[in-house]
Amino acid sequence: MMEFKEKIILIAPYPKLKESSEKVIKRNGYDIGVYLGDLEEGVKVANEAVKNDVELIISRGGTATMIKNSVDIPVVEINVTGFDLLRVIYPFASSNDKSIGIIGYPNVIYGMKSIAKTLNIDISYYEITSNNQVNEQVRKAIENNVKLIIGDTIAIKTADKHGLKTQLITSGEEAVQNSILEAKKVYQAIMQEKKEKEKLKTILDFAQEGIIAIDGDGIVTVFNPQAEKLFNINKDQVINKKADKVIPNTRLLEVVETGKKELNQIQNIGETRIATNRVPIKVENKINGAVATFQDVTKIQKLEQEIRRELNKKGLTAQYDFDDIIGQNKEIKVKKELAKKFAKVNSTVLITGQSGTGKELFAHSIHNNSKRKNGPFVAINCAALPTNLLESELFGYEEGSFTGAQEGGKSGLFELAHQGTIFLDEIGKMDKKLQARLLRVIQEKRIMRLGGREVIPIDVRIISATNSNLKKAVQSGEFRKDLYYRLNVLELEIPPLAVRKDDIPILVEHFIKKLSIENGVEINLSSEVIESFKKYDWPGNVRELENMMEKIVVISESPKVTKKNIEYILPELNEEKADSDLIDIYTSIENIEKQVIGKLLQEKLSKIEIADILDIDRSTLWRKIKKYDL
C-alpha cells in the first residue's frame, strides 16, 4: 500500500515525465509527491490517494482524463505546450511525408498545425474529443497508409497494438512548472473555501441563537446546535427533509413564498418563550430559500443587561437606529427619510420639536448611519448643569484651574467626541457666554481647556436639539444669531404625536410587546381604549404614551384591557373629567415656586442666601431660575 504524505500529488503516465517532474519539484522546494501510473494504473494510484486525504492531483493527457472521471477531487492537467510540440515535430522538418499522422485533442491539433505550417511540414491530422475515439482514428490513419503516429500515451499504446511506429509527445519541465503553479493556486482556493466553511460551521455551532435555513424547495439545510436545544430535535432528524414535516409551526415556507421578512416575532416552543426573525435568502433578486434565528427571551434580557453595563461604562455609544423610530404616518416617514439624507453629510443639524417627540432617537440614528458611526457619540443636556460646570464638561480643564479640579486635569466632551458626534440637547438653555465659546469651536474646529494654553484640534460633528423657539430667542437677544445659523445648517422638525395619531395603534403594539417581555405578562387593549387614545392630545407626546402603557401593563389585572378597566386610574382619558374635575397640581406648585423665587430675587438677596432660605443647593436653584426665565 502506498503512503501519501503530501496534499498534492503528480501522477506521471511515463518514466521520463516522472523524472523531469521530480527535478522541478526538488529545484523549487515544492511539497508534492510524484508517482508513476499510466491510464488504468494511474486511476488506481489516484483512488488510493483520495483514501489518504490527498486534496489535488496533477496528471497528463488520457491519464488525467480518466482520473477526472474516477475521483471527486480537483485534477489539474499538464497541458501540452508549444515547446513540447516543437520538440516532437522538429525532426521531421524536411519531410512532406503523409505517412506521419498526429492524433490528439483540438488544442494539440491546432498547435501542431501552426508549427507544421511554420516549418513547412505536410502531415496528417486526426482529431479526437474523447479517449474513446482513439481506436477509430488509428484505423483511419492505417487506411490512409500512415506508418508513424505522434500522440499522447493512449494514442501511442493503441497504435503500438496495430503495429505502427510511434512518437510520444512528452512534456518538458516548463509544462510541469506551469501545471504545478496552477495546481498551487487551485489548492489555495480549496483551502480558502475550507476555511470559510469551517468558519461558518464554527459560527453556526457557537452562535447564541438557534439558526435554521431552508432552500427554495423548503428542504432544511442548516439546523445548528442551539436550534437542536430549543426544539429538542436532533439535527439528523431534520437535515435534508421538508421543513413543514419535521419542524413544528414553522413559517419559513411562507417567507419563501411571500419574500417578506418577519422580524421580532414572539412565539412559544413548549414552555420556552423565544424571539424569532425570519428573512428570505435572495440570489440575483430571486428567492433561493429562507433563514430563521431564534433566541430564548430570558437570554436576550441577560445579554442586553451585560451590553448596557459595558456601554454605560464607556458612555460614548449611540444606542438607537432608525428602526427604533416607530411609525407609518406620512409626516414621521418623511422626517426619517430626511434624517437619513442628513446622515450622509457632515453638516450641523438642529432638531426641533416638543418634549417627548423622540429628538434624541433621531440624533442617535443620524450618527449610527453616518461615516462617523464607528466613532464616539457623546450626549449632554445643556439645561442640566450650571454654566461653569457645563463649560468644564464641554471643554475640559487643566489641573489646578479651579478649586476641586481633578488631579491631572480632565478631557472635555468635545475631545472625547473627536472623529465622532456630539449631541447638545436643550441647546436653547445654554448661557450666552458659552454660546460665544461654542461658536468659536464651530468656526475654528479646535478647543482650549479651562486653565490651559494648548490649542487642541478636533473633528466633531455637532447635532443639537431644542423644544423651545430658537428664532424667537434670537429676536429677543437670548440666543446668538450667528450661532443659530451655524447650528441650523440642516433643520429637522419632529412632529408631535397629536398630528400623527394614526401611529398610536402601532406605538401601542410596540410598547405592549416591549413591556410584556420586561414584565412577563401579556395584555391586549380593546378597540375602545385605542379610540380613547386617539381622542387625547398627548402633550407629553410619545414619551407620555409609553409611560401610560407602562402604567396599564403594571396595574392591569386582566389580559384584556377595556376602557372601564383603566379610566379610574387614567382619568385623563375621560373627556368630561379632563375638562372639568382635574386640577393641574403640578402647574400650581410650579407657579408658587416661580413667585417665591422671583420675590426673593427682587429683594436683592444673593443666590447663596436664596438657596439657604429654600433649603436647596445652588445648582438646583440655578436650574429653577433658568426654567422660569427669572
d(C-alpha 530, C-alpha 504), whole Å: 8
464: nearest Cα among 320, 349, 629? 349
Q: Report, as an integer, the average pLDDT of 529-534.
A: 88
d(C-alpha 70, C-alpha 63), whole Å: 11
Class at the top of the CATH hierarchy for domain 211-299: alpha beta
- Per residue in 207-218, pLDDT tens? 878 899 999 999
**pLDDT averaged over the chain?**
85
Q: 11 or 615, which is more confident?
A: 11
pLDDT of residue 577: 41
**627, 612 contact by CB (below 8 A):** no
Residue 314 — pLDDT band, cuts 50, 70, 90?
A: low
Most confident of 105-114, 155-164, 256-265, 354-363: 354-363
124: nearest Cα among 94, 107, 99, 158? 99
- Per residue in 549-559, pLDDT tens? 888 888 777 78
Among 6-10, 350-354, 498-502, 564-568, whose mean pLDDT is lowest?
Answer: 564-568
Please provide the CATH number assigned to the domain covering 498-580: 1.10.8.60
Q: Where are the alpha helices (DSSP H) in 412-526?
A: 413-416, 432-444, 470-475, 481-487, 504-519
**431, 376 contact by CB (below 8 A):** no
3-state class (DSSP) for residue 541? helix
Integer-rounded Cα Rg, in Å, for the chain is: 40
Q: 364 or 272, which is more confident?
A: 364
- Per residue in 14-24, pLDDT tens? 999 999 999 99
Using a pLDDT cut of 70, give the percent of the chain over it.
Answer: 91
Fold of 8-78+175-189: Rossmann fold (3.40.50)
Q: 14 or 122, which is more confident?
A: 14
Q: Report, as an integer, the average pLDDT of 374-395.
A: 87
pLDDT of residue 279: 93
Q: Report the amino acid identity of residue 531.
A: E
Residue 520: CB atoms within 10 Å: 9
d(C-alpha 517, C-alpha 525), whole Å: 16
Q: 21 or 129, which is more confident?
A: 21
CATH architecture, domain defined by 87-167: 3-Layer(aba) Sandwich (3.40)
pLDDT of residue 576: 41
Residue 535 — pLDDT band, cuts 50, 70, 90?
A: confident
pLDDT of residue 407: 66
pLDDT of residue 307: 46
pLDDT of residue 214: 93
Residue 8 — pLDDT band, cuts 50, 70, 90?
A: very high
Which single residue is written with the C-alpha cell 429676536? 475
For residue 328, give every residue at least 6 positions away whose Cβ sits within 8 Å of its Cβ, in sequence order, or none: 502, 503, 506
Please provide the CATH number assigned to the domain covering 315-493: 3.40.50.300
152: nearest Cα among 216, 67, 88, 211? 88
Q: Report, as an integer, the average pLDDT of 375-393.
A: 87
